[in-house]
Structure formats: C-alpha cells, structure tokens
Amino acid sequence: MKVKSVFFCNECGYESPKWLGKCPACGAWNSMVEEKIKPDTNRNSAKSSFAGEKAVPKTLNDIASDAEARIETRISELDRVLGGGVVKGSLVLVGGDPGIGKSTLLLQMCETLKTSGCILYVSAEESDKQIKMRAERLAVRNPRLLLLAETDLDGVCDAIHSHKPDVVIIDSVQTVYSGGISSAAGSVSQVREVTATLMSVAKGSGTAVFIVGHVTKEGAIAGPKVLEHMVDCVLYFEGERHQFHRILRAVKNRFGSTNEIGVFEMTDTGLQEVRNPSLMLLSGRPENVSGSCVICTLEGTRPMLAEVQALVSKSNFPAPRRMSTGIDYNRVCLLMAVLEKRVGFNLSTQDAYVNVIGGIKIDEPAADLGVALAIASGYKDVTIPNNVLAIGEVGLTGEIRAVNSIGKRIAEGAKLGFGIILVPSGNTKGVTAPENVKLHHVANLREALNIF
C-alpha cells in the first residue's frame, strides 16, 4: 500500500503536499512538519460505531432538550469552571504543566462520581498498578471505577463500547495512537485523528470524555491548534510548582462562562478546594511596609483580593531594570510612564520589581490603580494602610476609569475587613458604602495619591 507524505502546520493544522516556510492559513513561520500517512479503508470504523443510523436534518422542535443533563462532580470548584457540572456527550480537554495536578484532579473526580455511574480511566502513560498506588494515596475507592492501560485507539473504543461508561478519562491524548496512521503517537495527524474519533464517540454515545493534553514550553497545548477548536471545553491548570495552590481556568466552554476559575490547594492527600481564595492570598501579609497595596480582580463572577508588592530602588545601570511577576510587563511600564508624566515622579533612574503575591496572574485593567499605588508607595517609601483596597483602571492621561461589578468588589473588600476603598468617580451611581466602610471616589491618579 502506497504511503503518502504530507505536511501539517503545528499551529493551525493546515495540510499541504509540500513543505512551506510560512503557513498560508495562520501565517506562522517554520511550523510545517512532515507526516507519513498510510491510507486505511477501515480507519472510520471506530468513529461510526456509536453513530447508529444515518443522521438526517431535524427541526428545533423535534430535538429533545438535554440542557439540564449534567453530572455534578461534587467538587464545587470544578463544577463552577464547567458551568454547573459535566455535560453528557461533551469532550473536555485538560492541559497544564507536568506535575501540576491534572491526573490527581481527574482521579479524585472518579471518587466523587461513585454514585453517578460507571467510570473508565484509560492510562496511556502509566500501568494500572501505578494508577492503583496513586488511588490508594488519594483514598479513591470507587467500586465502579475501571482502569485500562491501553495506547491503541481501537482498544479504547472497544472498551467504551463494551462497558458503556458515563465518564471516560484519557491520560493522555498525545500517547494514544490510531493504527490507521503510520506516524508516531503524538504527531499532528495522530492527535487530530484520535481527538476526532473520541469526539464522535462522545457525541454518539452520550459519554462525557475528559482528555489530558501535554503543554509546550510556551504553555500552550501541544499538537495542532485545531485540537482546541474540536473539543467542547478547554481547561488550563495554572500555578507554580513551588506554590501550594493551583488555579483551574476555562479558556473555552460551550456550555458555560469562559471567565470562571477554580482554586485548589495541593496537599499530601491530593487537591483540596479553596472556598475563600481572597483570604488565602492575603494570609501572611506584612504590616506597615511601603510598596504594598491590595487590589480586587474579578474572575468570572467571583471577586478576588490579592496583594501587589513593588520594590523601587535607584538603578546602577544606564538602562534601569523592569521586572514583573503575575502581571503584564508592558502594563507595568505603561503605569510607570503615567506616574512619571502625569504625577512628576522621576522613575527613569529607578529599578522596579512588581510582584503579585501567591503566584496568580492578573490581566484585568481594574488592578491598575492598586499597581500604581504600590509603585508610588515604593518610590516615596510611604506606607499605605493595611485596610486600604484600590479599584480602578488608569488611563494614559492619569484618569481613573470606571470598572464593572463594583458592588461585588466592594462587598468582598468589606467582608474581609477593608475600611477604606478607593473607587473610580465614574462608579458613583447605585453604589452605597457598607457599614464601617469609607468610599473614596477618585477622578485621577494624583487625587488618589494625595489621600496618603
């Protein structure tokens, strides 16, 4: 049988019969990789095993509504990210750095789902004995949990067809291979074929399928970018290996919000839910120290408080150093430029180091005011009181612009004992201060700095 050689784009999955320096679909350079494909007339047999009769067009009224057909995992942080639970027939991709806790979370989910039906855990990287050892450490004793150590896609599909589980976990998609393609497991064509087959199985049988995906050194899911477009939900595990907490973030969700996050803490017995992330992120905060300010960011519907620290010192180099952790570097440079131009601070000779405590990443503009106050506090060596919370977006002219959901942010700050809250003057309508809380409505950055 003749073997055909084709080239795939690692970024978007574009297929070409010859090598190209630049992908014509997505414009990426040097992203074309060669794959050997052997035609196979039986390669679609697994895809059609659950399809049943031939699909025909239907009207909306003829289609049964399964909007409430969700399976609650009983892990509230995971249910929050998924939009209320696992949707039957959905395909969920879970990605993250090695050792971040992907397999741990999914194995713990197997225990909480012990009353929801049969679960099939397919391990393509470890043996069933290794999974058993981890399950004992995590106290997973679900009698309806089936373990399968298999890398062949046909074997996985046969097991799904035989046992008809309610939930299937594939760990990981890069190590499962299809016999109809001659390329190695983890290649572009293999990952795309395996994901397409699993998607067909999930939609045809109503089985919820979780697949674990490796990530590249840049932090993106390994394999073609089309992989993320094929699945229904993409979850990313974030966090530093030396930090205790982990953040589960939905970057794509066809059945819920893409802004929700779940917060977990890694312990010796697995991942534990963090019901109050703000309290955890503010624990151990120093008192009466300059360069520190508390901000409030909104992750989906959940307000979270975090501490921003800034160290500003005179530079010994011709070009001062700028470093940021947990917040965009360019955003920090922009805020420093606004402080220098609109307020008059001479920061061009100062080194600046900005860090969001706890290892979380903040990309919301509502944190601008707190970051600017922390930098100004570190530069002037003036302490901002510990009961101060700063909320607001800083514009290039130094104005403080209004932000959304100001009521939720103020309520979260009041709940944790912050008595002074700085809010934009544009958020005056419909905003009332809770008891024992004083609101300062500020119109520009200079006005906010004059308070201290």
- pLDDT tens for each residue of 371-392: 999 999 999 999 999 999 999 9
**47-92 pLDDT, tens per residue?**
444 445 667 888 878 877 665 578 999 999 999 999 999 999 999 9
Read out DSSP for 368-423?
A: HHHHHHHHHHHHHT-PPPTTEEE--EEPTTSBEE--S-HHHHHHHHHHTT--EEEE
Residue 29 in domain: yes
pLDDT in tens, 2-25: 667 888 887 777 888 899 999 898
Inside any domain, residue 187:
yes
- ∠ CA 96-98-101 to the nearest 5 degrees? 70
Does a structural domain hold residue 50? no
- Residue-level pLDDT at 12: 73
Q: What is the pLDDT of residues 227-248, one digit of tens each?
A: 888 899 999 988 776 778 888 9
Whether the pLDDT of residue 418 is over 90: the answer is yes
Q: Is the pLDDT of residue 46 over 60?
A: no
Residue 180 phi, psi dihedral angles, 5° rounding = -80, -5
Q: Is the pLDDT of residue 40 over 60?
A: no
Tell how strand 388-390 and strand 420-424 pair up: parallel
pLDDT at 9: 82
Residue 151 has pLDDT above 60, yes or no: yes
The pLDDT tens digits for 154-181 are 999 999 999 999 999 999 898 999 987 7
Query: Percent of the chain at pLDDT above 90?
Result: 60
Closest CA to 160 of 205, 196, 123: 205
Inside any domain, residue 13 = yes
pLDDT score recorded for residue 45? 44
Q: Is the pLDDT of residue 218 over 70?
A: no
Q: What is the CATH number of the domain that holds 442?
A: 3.30.230.10
Spatial separation of the C-alpha atoms in residues 75 and 168, rounded to whole Å: 17
Number of domains in the chain: 3
Same-domain check for residues 26 and 110: no
Per the domain annotation, does 58 fall within a domain? Answer: no
Q: Are residues 215 and 92 in the same domain?
A: yes
The answer on 165 and 87 residing in a single domain is yes
Residue 48 lies in a domain: no
Please compute the mean of the pLDDT values over residues 215-230 and round it to a whole number: 70
Residue 328 has pLDDT above 80, yes or no: yes
Single-letter code of the amino acid located at 90: S
Residues whose CB falls within 8 Å of the CB of residue 77, separated by 6 or more in sequence, listed in order: 248, 262, 263, 264, 273, 274
Residues 269 and 291 in one domain: no
> For residue 184, is it within any domain?
yes
Q: Retrieve residue 244's tokens.
A: 């205790």
The least confident of 113-117, 181-185, 245-249, 417-421 is 181-185
Q: Are residues 203 and 175 in the same domain?
A: yes
* pLDDT value, residue 301: 81
329 and 211 in one domain?
no
Environment class of residue 47 by beta-carbon count within 10 Å: exposed (0-12), middle (13-18) or buried (19+)?
A: middle
Shared domain for 159 and 301, answered yes or no, is no
- State whether 319 and 439 are in the same domain: yes
359 & 436 share domain: yes
Share of the chain above pLDDT 70, in %: 92
pLDDT band at 252 (very low <50, low <70, confident <90, very high): very high
Q: Containing domain of residue 181, as a range?
A: 70-275
Q: Which helix (H) or strand (E) holds 319?
A: none
Q: Could you read off the pLDDT of 256-276 as tens digits, one per residue?
A: 888 788 999 988 889 999 988
Per the prediction, the chain carries an average pLDDT of: 88
Same domain, 264 and 321: no
At 212, list the tokens.
């674990």
